[in-house]
Amino acid sequence: MNADGWQPIDSAPKDGTDVLIYHQSRTSDSIIVIAQWTDDGMDSYHWCDAVAIYEPTHWQPLPDPPEAKS
């Protein structure tokens, strides 16, 4: 694992767990999205809105949510 928390995509969970994934686009800046492995016959990570990311390079677990203030 890198010091910044990013791990190689090959080590990402493939059990439907939501994770952050990183993709360097050829036409724009890098993209970081919440995604999960989806077995759709194409074996690709998908954005929450089902737009496929075919070549993510890194992933990391989602951070803990903020604590609720009372």
- Inside any domain, residue 46: yes
- Inside any domain, residue 38: yes
Domain that holds residue 19: 7-61
Give the pLDDT of residue 62. Answer: 94
How confident is residue 54, by pLDDT bands cut at 50, 70 and 90?
low
List CB contacts of 9: < 8 A, sequence separation 6 or more.
21, 56, 57, 58, 59
Mean pLDDT of 20-42: 79
The region of weakest confidence among 17-26, 41-50, 60-69 is 41-50
- Inside any domain, residue 66: no
- Inside any domain, residue 18: yes
- Inside any domain, residue 70: no
Considering only residues 35 and 38, tell me which one the structure prediction assigns the higher pLDDT.
Answer: 35
Domain count, the chain: 1
> How far apart, in Å, are the Cα atoms of 36 and each of 4, 27, 65, 70?
20, 23, 18, 32
Question: 0.85 exceeded by the pTM?
Answer: no
- Inside any domain, residue 69: no
Would you state the torsion angle of the CA atoms of residues 70, 20, 28, 1, taken in this order, to the nearest 10 degrees?
120
The region of weakest confidence among 17-21, 42-46, 50-54 is 50-54
